[in-house]
Every structure is written in C-alpha cells, then in structure tokens.
Structure 1
C-alpha cells in the first residue's frame, strides 16, 4: 500500500521554481479561484445571454426559443439573444455550445434529434449526455401518423394487417433518415414484427403530394404541419405519438392506445455546456418554468400542436428523462440498423 504523502499527486503549482507545494498552500492558491466562481454564479446573470438554435429560423424550435427569450429578458434583467446555427441535423450548433464556457451565458434550445444523434452519427464531435447540462424541458412534440382521406387504412391495426399480408408492400414517409419519425416507423416494425419501406423526404410539405396521390401508404410527420390538413379534411390521422393525446386532436388515439406500445415523444428543451454551476442551472430552470406557464407561451405551444410540460420539471428530473430518451432512441437505432454515417 502506498504511504500517505505519495497518494496525493501535485495538482496545482504557483511557485516560480515549478516544484510541488504542500497541500495546505495549494489549497490557498485554489481557494480564491473557487470563491470567484461562486460569487460569479451568485451574481448571475450580469451580462447578455446567447441562445443557440441549431435549426433554421422560422422552424418550430426557433419560434419557441424566440418567444421564450422575450420572457427571459424580463425575468433575468439581461438581453437574451437567439442565434441560428443550422447544419448537420443540428450538430453544428450543439457542438458550438458544448465548447463554450459553462457559465450560463451560452445556451442551446434544441429538439429530439439531439438525443438521437449518438446512435446515428459515428463521427459525432460531442456527447449529448457528457458534454451538456440539462436545464429544462419546454414542451413535448408528438408526431402524427396520417394518410390520405380515401386510403383504406383507417387505423394502426390496418397498417399492421396490411404489412403482414404483403411484407414490404406498404411504404411510410418521414422527414429524413435518422429523424424521430424514421425511428418511430422502425419501432413500429420491431414491435409488430412487420416489414415496411421507409421513404425519407425533406419535410412534410415535400411528402404531401405523394401522400395525397397514394404513392405513399402513410406518413409519420410533425403534428404542427399536419394538424391543419387533418382539420381541413385533406388527411386523416390514425395515431399520435407520446404518452397522452394532443389537446389539438383529442379524438386521435396515442400509438400505445392503438396497440403499439411506444410512447417516447419529441420535445423542445434547453441545455448548457457540461459543468454549469447548480445555482445557475436552477436559476434558468425557474425562469423557464415561469415563462412556460404564461398564457401567451401556453397558447404558442398548444396552437402549434405541441403539449405543455405540466407540472414543470426540475433540471434534475429533465436530466433523467433526457438520458432515458438517449437510451431508448439508441436501442431503436441499433435494433433496426438505422444509421446516417
């Protein structure tokens, strides 16, 4: 067994000769730095905050982030600027935040593809779990299974029956390889023992002509873009993902209620770099919860087809849920063989 002094390795040097100092003197050197960090965290925020959205301007995540920023400016008393950093399925903006100083002044508001990234990108430059601090979940974002009004498919049971009768004859659309809709479709195949053909598009609007013409059997798309078409009678909704029905479409059953036990759902959420002080994280979590409870934020979420998080979750609760989502999506990707690079 090693003796006491040799078990303690030098971790800080502040003398000009470069030799290791006694532990007591080393602690005296480090203590002012720790105190300075603590004071800075207690004084948070005292300068502008930047929120990076890793998707183009005008999308669902961007709209939520910009409205949230308005409320945070009022609550935190500092400018809150939203910057779009799109590219690589959201990975470019996320990587920039991961490399930022963990002081609470550089944040990320992103969506569920962030949790899927480790399973889909072999060359990912960050780890969503190890390199980030979960701050708050803003809303859940369900996905909608839709088909053309004239389709003989009237339920998830019809999809399963048709796929079993003629494997690989039924196709489904998503908005891209590795997207949440793609993996929901793969989950359906795994859970029901069926074979269907995945056809990726660059969004719901790009897929719409093929859905309406019957070229595609059904689609799994975001509820925001599909709900108006369902309400207008151009499409019929067969199921919605997530643990609960959407307020905007209360008559549509969840995927689990329709017989496929899969309730992982998309979301909008806030993260910071790994190592953010707990006081800063909790301050941001409280500010976000206050903002998301306001009537205008609730209306923005519900009218967009998403679901408010009620009751608001703590940063720790959201962190546990996020890690569970990373594991769930990762398992689906591994079991199905889905990948991007």
Structure 2
C-alpha cells in the first residue's frame, strides 16, 4: 500500500516520490532518520501503531514521537482480531468470557510480545469483561499461529493483516474485531463493542514529517494524501490489504490529537505491562 500511495502522491505533487525501506529496531532506525531530516516536507515517515509506544519500550530512543514529528494524516485503521482454532468450542466472545470466568487462567491468549498493542488490548479486554486470561507472548507470528492451530493456546489477539489469510482459509475462526466498525473484508465478524465489550481502540498506518514542518506544507500534504486515499481504487487497495479506510479523512490537527492521545494512553499501559512482566 505504501508504494501505491507514493506513486500516486508523485503524480499529485508532480515530482518523484521515492520509497526507502529502513527496517531494524522495530522501525526505530527509519523513524530516527526522518526525525533528523530537514523539515521541508521532502522526507516523510509512513509507520504504524507501535511507533506510539516506542518510548515506553525503548527508553534510550534518540527521538520522541510527539516532540520530533509533525502528524500529516491517518492512512488506514489496522484492527486486531480475536481468533481461535477452527474446531475450538469457543464460538463467540460470550463463550470466551464465560469460559474464562468459570475457570480462572483456563484461557490463554497469544500476542506478538509483551507491551505490544495486542497485549495492551488483551489487558483492557480482561478489565472490561471482568475476567482473567493467561498471556502467552511470542516473538513472531509463525510461532503464535502454530500454537493456535495446535490448541496449545486458546485464542490469539493479533493484527488483522497477519490473521486474515488463516481466517479466510478456515483454519482459524474470528470471534470479534476491534475498532468502531466491522471490516469490509470480514462483514460477519462483530466488533468487540457489538459483542458486549466496550473496547474500540484500533491500530493504524499514519503519515508523519519531521517536527517544525510549516502549517502550509502540512496542509498541502494532508490534502494531497487524503485526495488519493478517497479514490475508489485506493479504497479497494486498503480493503484488500485487510485494513479499514478512514472515513471521513483526518485533518492534521485531528490526526495529531488522536496520535498524542495514543502515545499517552498506550505508553502508560505499555509501561505498566512491562512492570508486571518483570
């Protein structure tokens, strides 16, 4: 999706837009390079929700996601799925809550790591539902999926992008999805709110620039990107990537406010989760 967006942004701005993939350190190497770049609008960062909790997990970061960046716009929402193996006796969130309440710690949930967004979601779901589950953190998606399929772990709270192929193939069944709306790719899967748990936080992809970008350039980029994202072909691409389009689009101020709140709330939850894991 990032390359398609870059290609169309180049056409919209009438100049080439080059995609540079800088992996490593959970995306922090790429983010640090953007934080150090000139704030002229020619260097942008497309990143995802873990960026918001980076300060809580990596105390020696060379940047801060709020102080060192300007929010441009939200690109899409990335929900989490609550999934279980196809032959699990759990068929709904109410089944899950009932089983967890009947026998404490009988239900385990897989995530991609301590203080990851799925872990934080799991903690909040337990709190809101008044139940307890055993957290099983994994270092990667393949290990978590293997354990889910074998029944070694009861459920997974994992990102929709990773889980969608397994759900579509019938190897996993989705009990619920996070976020304010159902995913177009999984229209029969209820949101957690619909299932009775008032949790609608969701991950995302977002666009940022170095801090100090002028309001005029910020607005130009926001309008250009949102115009592209509103095109039918891009809406289809967003849905095909298992994410959820942003409707209506976000202004720089709206995206900055939402991002700041994510950094505050998720950061506090991540810090608490890390303390509990010590």
TM-score in terms of structure 2 length = 0.94
**Distance between the aligned counterparts of 1:188 and 1:181, measured in 2?**
10
For the aligned residue pairs, the C-alpha RMSD in angstroms reads: 1.8
**Distance between the aligned counterparts of 1:339 and 1:224, measured in 2?**
28
Mean CA deviation greater in 86-95 or 71-80: 86-95
Q: Are 1:218 and 2:165 an aligned pair?
A: no
Q: CA shift at 1:332, angstroms? A: 2.4
Quickly say closer, same or farther: Cα 1:147–1:226, change in 2 above 3 A.
Answer: same
Quickly say closer, same or farther: Cα 1:91–1:340, change in 2 above 3 A.
Answer: farther
| SS of 1:147 mapped into structure 2 | strand
The residue aligned with 1:183 is 120
Q: Are 1:309 and 2:258 an aligned pair?
A: no
Q: Are 1:170 and 2:71 an aligned pair?
A: no
**Distance between the aligned counterparts of 2:181 and 2:257, measured in 1?**
20
8 Å CA contact 1:112–1:267 kept in 2: the answer is yes
Deviation sequence 1:221-267 (CA, Å, 0-9, x none): 22123223223221111010111111111111111222222111011
Provide runs of 4+ in structure 1 moved above 4 Å: 337-341
8 Å CA contact 1:204–1:222 kept in 2: the answer is no
Q: CA shift at 1:107, angstroms? A: 0.8
Quickly say closer, same or farther: Cα 1:194–1:337, change in 2 above 3 A.
Answer: farther
Quickly say closer, same or farther: Cα 1:69–1:278, change in 2 above 3 A.
Answer: same
8 Å CA contact 1:120–1:338 kept in 2: the answer is no
Q: Where do 1:245-264 residues align within 5 Å?
A: 245-264=182-201
Quickly say closer, same or farther: Cα 1:339–1:322, change in 2 above 3 A.
Answer: farther
Q: CA shift at 1:340, angstroms? A: 9.0
The residue aligned with 2:62 is 125
Q: Are 1:288 and 2:244 an aligned pair?
A: no
Quickly say closer, same or farther: Cα 1:189–1:338, change in 2 above 3 A.
Answer: farther
Higher RCO structure, 1 or 2 (CA under 8 Å, sep 6+): 2
Q: Are 1:93 and 2:30 an aligned pair?
A: yes
8 Å CA contact 1:289–1:312 kept in 2: the answer is yes
The residue aligned with 1:278 is 215
One of 35, 50, 60 as aligned partner of 1:113: 50
Q: Are 1:325 and 2:259 an aligned pair?
A: no
Gaps of 5+ in 1: 1-63
| SS of 2:146 mapped into structure 1 | helix
From the CA coordinates, give the structure whose radius of gyration is larger.
1
8 Å CA contact 1:185–1:220 kept in 2: the answer is yes
Quickly say closer, same or farther: Cα 1:291–1:339, change in 2 above 3 A.
Answer: farther
The residue aligned with 2:134 is 197
**Distance between the aligned counterparts of 2:261 and 2:127, measured in 1?**
19
Q: Are 1:146 and 2:83 an aligned pair?
A: yes
| SS of 1:261 mapped into structure 2 | coil
Gaps of 5+ in 2: none
Deviation sequence 1:8-54 (CA, Å, 0-9, x none): xxxxxxxxxxxxxxxxxxxxxxxxxxxxxxxxxxxxxxxxxxxxxxx
**Distance between the aligned counterparts of 2:275 and 2:39, measured in 1?**
33
8 Å CA contact 2:116–2:270 kept in 1: the answer is no
Q: CA shift at 1:334, angstroms? A: 4.0
Q: How many aligned residue pairs are there?
A: 278
One of 192, 206, 230 as aligned partner of 2:143: 206
**Distance between the aligned counterparts of 2:275 and 2:49, measured in 1?**
16
8 Å CA contact 1:174–1:221 kept in 2: the answer is yes
Q: CA shift at 1:218, angstroms? A: 0.5
**Distance between the aligned counterparts of 2:275 and 2:10, measured in 1?**
41
